[in-house]
Amino acid sequence: MEPVFKALADPVRRAILDSLFCKGGQRLNDLIEGHGMSRQAVSNHLRILEEANLVAVVWKGREKLHYLNPVPIHEIATRWIAKFQTGQLEALSNFKQSLESQEKPNHE
């Protein structure tokens, strides 16, 4: 889970995921276009995405085809974010309670 959060923290990597979402099976050279950076820079980002299992690769001869793997994102959504969603009312309740008592502090 940790590598997924780290991988998603970079806007270039999120853009790569967007690109792979729209069109799967792109090669490294395909993904370079539109990011204004060197091949190695994009390659490094792809490595981080692969290590987080966000991108799956298929070698076809000398070409490395990249595909978005949506599973880790789904897990973030269900295992981590969902927790805060269900508790949303409770958290807001905590917050509002404090606002109400804000004007008379230390009234014990």
- For a copy of itself, the binding residues (CB under 8 A) are 2, 5-6, 8-9, 11, 14, 17, 20-21, 24-25, 56, 58, 60-61, 65, 67-70, 73-74, 76-77, 80-81, 83-85, 87-88, 91-92, 94-95, 98-99, 102, 105-106
Cα distance from N-terminal residue to C-terminal residue, the chain: 44
15 binds, among a copy of itself, DNA, none (CB under 5 to 8 A by kind): none
Given a contact cutoff of 8 angstroms between Cβ atoms, the answer to whether 7 and 48 are in contact is: yes
Q: Which two tokens stand for residue 81?
A: 């974010």
Q: Which two tokens stand for residue 28?
A: 């490294």
61 is an interface residue for DNA by CB under 7 A? yes
- Report the residue from 18, 29, 34, 78 that binds DNA according to the rule CB under 7 A: 29
CB of 77 to DNA, least distance (A): 22
Given a contact cutoff of 8 angstroms between Cβ atoms, the answer to whether 28 and 62 are in contact is: no
Given a contact cutoff of 8 angstroms between Cβ atoms, the answer to whether 46 and 17 are in contact is: no
CB of 23 to a copy of itself, least distance (A): 8
